[in-house]
Amino acid sequence: MSALPPIVAFPRPYMMEVTMRIAFAIILLAAAAPFDTAKSDPYRWCADYGGGGMGPGRNCYFITLEQCRWAISGNGGCCVLNPFYDGRPVVMPEDGVRVKRRPRNY
């Protein structure tokens, strides 16, 4: 019969360090998992308002240059390209999926 190898007992501080490293890795992975990539802005034009004593203001919710120009008309300011524009089309709620219905036969 062969003798069994001796059981190696690790020191307690070493086991605690390993446990803490594993726990830290799990927490790090769990914290990073729910984040998604940043979404870009689908609106092409921004209105930069003068601001006066309150500081400048910016409104970046314009699809066309004409919409932007109408917004700054009488307020002062200028229209500039949105630095976060990504080129995707703007989808409005009324653009939702249309259901094609069959005509009723009475």
For 65, half-sphere exposure in the C-beta direction (CA atoms, 13 angstrom radius) is 4
Q: How many folded domains does the chain comprise?
A: 1
Spatial distance between the Cα atoms of 33 and 19, rounded to a whole number of angstroms: 21
Spatial distance between the Cα atoms of 29 and 65, rounded to a whole number of angstroms: 44
**Looking at the whole model, is its pTM more than 0.75?**
no
Residue with the bigger pLDDT between 36 and 66: it is 66
For residue 41, which of 65, 62, 25, 17 has the smallest C-alpha distance? 62
| Pair of tokens at residue 39 | 């979404």
Burial string for 34-44 (b: 16+ CB within 10 Å, else e) reads: eeeeeeeebbb
Question: Given this model, what pLDDT does residue 65 score?
Answer: 94
Question: Given this model, what pLDDT does residue 27 score?
Answer: 84
Domain that holds residue 58: 45-89
Give 61-103 pLDDT, tens digit per residue: 998 999 999 999 988 889 999 988 888 776 666 666 666 677 7
| Pair of tokens at residue 89 | 């089309």
Q: Is residue 82 part of a domain?
A: yes
In the predicted structure, residue 6 carries a pLDDT above the cut 80? no
Question: Given this model, what pLDDT does residue 103 score?
Answer: 74
Q: Is residue 56 part of a domain?
A: yes
Mean predicted confidence (pLDDT) in 2-30: 76
Residues in the chain: 106
Q: Is residue 106 part of a domain?
A: no
